[in-house]
Every structure is written in C-alpha cells, then in structure tokens.
Amino acid sequence: MEQLAPPGPAAASPWRSKCPWGSSPSTVTPCSLSDVMSEELANELQQQEENASFPHVIGIDTPVLIGEGTETSSDLLLAQMLQMEFDREYDAQLRREENKFNGGSKVSISFENFRMVHPFEDSESSDDEVDWQDTRHDPYGPEEFFCAADKPAANAKRGFVGKGREITTKHDEVTCGRRNTARMENFAPEFQVGDGIRMDLKLPNRVFNALKQHSYSEQRRSTRIHEKKEHSTSDQAVDPKTRLLLYKMVNAGILESVNGCVSTGKESVIFHANGGSMDNKIVPAECAIKVFKTTLNEFKHRDKYIKDDYRFKDRFGHLNPRKIIRMWAEKELHNLTRMQEAGIPCPEVVMLKKHILVMSFIGQDQVPAPKLKDVKLSSEDMKRAYHQVLYMMQQLYTECKLVHADLSAYNMLWHMGKVWFIDVSQSVEPTHPHGLKFLFRDCKNVSQFFQKAGVADAMNERELFNAVSGLDVPGDNEVEFAVQIEALEKINEDHIQQVGKRGKISEFEIPAQD
C-alpha cells in the first residue's frame, strides 16, 4: 500500500477547485467565463500540471494512489486520505503521550500496539530489502519480463526496456509490484495469500519483504508445533486421540483404571491397566494395553511383514499409513487368537480399538514378568524352558500356521514357571514369501540363546529349523542351508503363481544338492 496524504495547502493545482476544503487556484491565467466553464480547458490544464509533476508516468491514463497532487474526485479516495491523515495525527499524539509517560526513565513502556498506521506502511521502501535471490518460481523473472521487449536476449542483461524518457527498468514500481505479487506463490502452501496473485496487484517491496518474513517465521513456528505434537505421540503414545480412546474404555467400564507405562519400545508403548467388566467376556484383573505408535518411521522397515502377507495383501495397497498401523494391531490380535486356540501360553486378547490392543497382563501386581534374557534360571528350569520353547515353536508352525518372525529372548517372558510368547504383530504364515527365512532367523536366536545358557540338549539352528518345520532341508553349514531355504521359497512362490493358491510347504520337494 502506498502512503496517502491529503492535499495540503501547498499543493495548489487546477483540480483543487473540486476539493471540498481547498481554496481557489490563484495561478490560473484569467480568461472568459465560457473558458472557465469549459471542461476541456480544465482537463487540459490538469494534464499539463500532471505531466510537469510526474514526467515518468506519461501514458498511464488512470493514476492510482500515488501521493500528493493525485486526483481527488473519488469519494472513496477522499475518505481514505482523510482516514490516513486522522490515523497519522492519532499516532503523533500517541507518540507524544508515550514520551510523556516514559519521561527519562530507563525502563520504558511502548505504545506501539496502539498505533493506527501499520508499521509496514511507515517503514522506508528500499530495493535492497527485496531478496533478489529468491527465484524458485518467478513468473515475472527476466525472461517473462523482457519477452515484450524488442530484443529480449540483448535487453535482458541491461535490466531495462524502452528508450529515452520511456525507459522502464527492473526497478520500475509497477513491474516490481507485479513481480512481488507473483512471488507470493513461493510462500509456504499453508500461508494464505488471498486472491492477490490473480489480480493485477502491485505489491511494494517493503510489504512483500514483511510478508515474506512473516511467512518464514510462521512456517518455522508451525513446524515447531507440529514436531512437538509428533513427539508427544512417539514418546508417550498418548496423543489426544489415544487418550480419548482410553478414556472411553474406562468410561465404558471395560477398564477400571489405566496405570503407568510398562515399556516403551520403538513401535509401541505398553501400559498397565486394571480390568473392569464386559457383557460377553471376562476381563482379566490386570491388563496390558499395547498402543501402536502413530509415527510411521519405525514401521516403514516392517512393511515386508504385512505387504506380502496374503491375509492383508489386498488391503495394504489402498490404505493410508495410519490405517496400516491399525493393521499391525489387528494382525497381533489375529495371531494371538490363533495361539490361544492352540493352547500356546501368550496374552489373551480383551479388545482391539483402532491402534490400541488390550490383552491380559503377563506378570503380577503391575510388575511385568521378566524377559527370558533377564531372568536367572536354574539349569533345570533352563532345560525345561528350552524344551517348552521347542514345543511351542512346533505348535506355532503346525497348528497355528505361523512363524513368529521376531522370536528372541526379548519376546519370551518367564511367568509362573513357564515361557510365554509375546509380540506377534509381525508374525506371518510359513508360505509368506520370506516365511522360511524368518523361521530360520528365529531358530538361530533360540538356538544361540539356549546353547549359551548351557543347555546341552539345545540343537543348532539348522536342526531346530527342521525339527520345527518338519522339513528335511540339507546343508552342512549356515550358508548352504540359507541357499536351500531360498530355493524352497522360490518353489513356493512359483507354486502360488501356477496353482493360484498356497500349498503346504512340507509337501514340496526339497531341491537336490549339487
């Protein structure tokens, strides 16, 4: 916005006669009455005056708000000028009062916020304030600007077009204004710039710079807020939505209370809760609430578990990331249910609500059962634990048609003198394209753990793999064995391609060794 100033007494010009407050011009040459009444003469004199004052705007037929000596026949314009003058006087008075109030005191109080005239309108305009480096997308950049010139390429370097008095430089007010308006498109998308871009709006440099600064600081501020929000989700997993869901569960009486956090992992946070009651189900006295984190980073590397799981395959492609996270929770529910049915010791599912899975708590009095890696067991118990794990893995494979896919001493708890399997959201069926590879990895973890723990009976990973799967994969070392597993997975994939459905891996012929 250009500054407006009311025409003062010094600005004597022929069109002052139209001003309600102006005095009659004294500089007009005396002429006859008919001449005085001639509109043509009046216009001519006006034009002469304008040309003398603004030689550079020759040819621009509708002068806009520029400053003193401007056309004042529009009521709106007059009103704006008066308002501006009023504001200026108000501000001057405010400044006087501010000075009086603060006096010589070292600590002063600013009245800035009460000013009428916007600070941007007060500041000095300067070409230097514009960041001319900002050329990400500039529809009024050199090429566009100079395309109207006679010799665009040659002129572009000179930074001006036209000849003599009609020269237009890149600093031309109108050109700069339009260029600034167009540059608003480069502001962050969330920064609303209104309809200005589509109008022939000429934005002065100082206004553009102020807007740009504002857009940058707004962008930084919103990024900070966003990060904070995301963080709260990832660190405590109790973003407002999760809190609301938990609150609803307590409100519905399913849970009596939600207590402290038991564990924070990469992908989930576990809370302890006191169970309430449900119409159709007995709710355990102590519950574990697994809240799957709503931040996606950690889940990205887990895509392979769910993407190729035929149970979820059809849905995977169409889902947004948040729904995929819910799918993890759903996957854990399905897998736990299968395990329950097979009688494998594992948490019992109470309910699933979006990304929140409620299950029975493995432990007592809010103290979770220790992980197998942390518990000190007698050699007898360790041996018993090993045989139990072997049996549970077999059950999981043959009865539940599942491979844990993250089985280690971290995901096995020791409770009431036996091993419990937990954390089965990533578990897949053996016919999953990488199901056997996952099983081999599980076997490696289990075998190494029990061998290190001194269980003499503990099989090596290859023996364990065959004992669990019922396959008879040959291979004297790990590398050979891994090659065989890959070949089996390939046969499995080919079979699915040909027959259109999954077969039983144990029925496939093991490829002969070279």
In the set 239, 309, 406, 442, the catalytic residue is: 406
Of the candidate residues 263, 277, 364, 379, the single one contacting ligand ADP (CB under 6 A):
263
Q: Which one of 115-123, 357-365, 464-472, 498-506 is the stretch in contact with ligand ADP (CB under 6 A)?
A: 357-365
Query: 307-343: b or e for each residue (b if 16 or more CB lie within 10 Å)?
Result: ebbeebeeeeeeeeeeebbbbbbbbbbbbbebbbebe
Q: What is the DSSP string of 251-288?
A: HTTSEEEEEEEEEE-SSEEEEEEEE---SSSPPPSEEE
Structure tokens at 423: 């954390």
Smallest distance from the beta carbon of 112 to ligand ADP, in angstroms?
A: 52
Q: Does position 262 bind ligand ADP by CB under 6 A?
A: yes
Query: Measured from the CB of residue 449, what is the shortest distance to ligand ADP in angstroms?
Result: 15
CA–CA gap between residue 461 and residue 448 (Å, rounded): 8
From 265-273, 334-342, 430-438, 440-448, span contacting ligand ADP (CB under 6 A):
265-273
Among 265, 321, 454, 470, binds ligand ADP (CB under 6 A): 265
Instruction: Determine if 470 is a binding residue for ligand ADP (CB under 6 A).
Output: no
**Of 78, 62, 69, the residue nearest 13 (C-alpha):** 69
Question: Does 283 interact with ligand ADP (rule: CB under 6 A)?
Answer: no
Residue 368 interacts, among Mg ion, ligand ADP, none and using kind-specific CB cut-offs from 5 to 8 Å, with ligand ADP
Residue with tokens 């589509």: 198
State the Cα–Cα distance between residues 424 and 359, nearest whole angstrom: 13
Which residues 380-419 are close enough to bind ligand ADP by CB under 6 A? Answer: 411
Q: Is 361 in the site for ligand ADP (CB under 6 A)?
A: yes
Distances (CA, A) of 148 to 34, 144, 158, 168, 199: 46, 8, 14, 12, 20
267 belongs to the binding site for ligand ADP (CB under 6 A): yes
CB of 469 to Mg ion, least distance (A): 23
Residues 370-409 as x/- pattern, contact with Mg ion by CB under 5 A: ----------------------------------------
Please, which residue, 70 or 411, has the CB nearer to Mg ion? 411
Work out what residue 263 binds among Mg ion, ligand ADP, none; the CB cut-off runs from 5 to 8 Å by kind.
ligand ADP
Residue placing its CB nearer to ligand ADP in the complex, 161 or 369: 369
464 Cβ neighbours under 8 A, 6+ residues apart: 390, 393, 443, 446, 447
Which residue, judged by CB position, is nearest to Mg ion in the bound state? 423
How many whole angstroms separate alpha carbon 165 and alpha carbon 145? 19
Does 411 bind Mg ion (CB under 5 A)? Our answer is: yes
Residue nearest to ligand ADP (CB): 265
Tell me which stretch binds ligand ADP (CB under 6 A): 33-41, 57-65, 297-305, 361-369: 361-369
Examine the residue annotation and report whether 406 is marked as an active-site residue of this protein. Answer: yes
Nearest to 312 by CA among 299, 301, 323, 296: 323
Picked from ligand ADP, Mg ion, none, the partner binding residue 363 (CB below 5 to 8 A depending on kind) is ligand ADP
Burial class (CB in 10 A: 0-12, 13-18, 19+), 372: buried
Q: Is 305 in the site for ligand ADP (CB under 6 A)?
A: no
End-to-end CA distance of the chain: 84
**Quick one: which segment of 140-148, 160-168, 204-212, 359-367 binds ligand ADP (CB under 6 A)?**
359-367
Find, among 93, 139, 96, the residue nearest to 116 by Cα.
Answer: 93
Question: Measured from the CB of residue 264, what is the shortest distance to Mg ion in angstroms?
Answer: 11
Nearest one of 280, 233, 227 to 254, comparing CA atoms: 280
Q: Which is nearer to ligand ADP, 50 or 267 (CB)?
A: 267
Partner in contact with 275, chosen from Mg ion, ligand ADP, none, beta carbon below 5 to 8 Å by kind: none
Does the protein bind ligand ADP through residue 275 (CB under 6 A)? no
CA–CA gap between residue 269 and residue 237 (Å, rounded): 6
**Closest C-alpha among 242, 299, 315 to residue 265:** 299
DSSP per position, 198-254 = GTT----HHHHHHHHHHHHHHHHHHHHHHHHHHHHHHHH---HHHHHHHHHHHHTTS
Please give the residue ranges that form the binding site for Mg ion (CB under 5 A). 411, 423
Residues forming the active site: 406
Please give the residue ranges that form the binding site for ligand ADP (CB under 6 A). 262-263, 265, 267-268, 270, 288, 290, 347, 359, 361-363, 368, 371, 411, 422-423
